[in-house]
Amino acid sequence: MKKEDKVLVVEKLVELIGKYPHVYLTDIEALPADKTSELRRECFKSEVKLMVVKNSLLRLAMSQVNEEAFAPLFPLLKGNTAVMFAETANVPAKVIKNFTKNEKKGEGKPQLKGAYVQESIYVGPENLEALVNIKSKEELIADVVALLQSPAKNVISALQSGGNTIHGVLQTLQERN
């Protein structure tokens, strides 16, 4: 690869790392061509950008963006590395899990090498389940809204279900005074 081409690849990787807050490193070595195409389709449907890159160029790009944050991932940059970029933290983990659900544990490809998710580092395939369970921003907002609505719904429900009872309680309170 010419030096000019390498510079362009690094610039593209720096742009992608800056654009997407979540980066997954995966191993897709020995994945048959038809399975690779299927994985690419799944990633496209899930709005995950999948790229196979040279480890040295990825390391250089990560160093240019934030060497301190990405440094724990540098030892993982060996062998075949595919990078998954995503806006939502758990989507690449879900793609990997769904893609390998019919494989024996630890043998399915793609296999998680490591991830930079929500400013945290996850190393090794044993962290895949933890990454799947990370809630996205939208899911967290929905949980908070549901929690905020719950007391109001309970009060309204109690008021609607016991209309006569409330009238009786109010009347009893009035008579006490």
Q: Is the pLDDT of residue 161 over 70?
A: no
Per residue in 140-156, pLDDT tens? 888 888 888 777 776 67
Instruction: Output the pTM of the full model.
Output: 0.74
Determine the pLDDT at residue 68: 87
pLDDT of 5 over the 80 cut: yes
Closest CA to 77 of 40, 26, 128, 32: 26
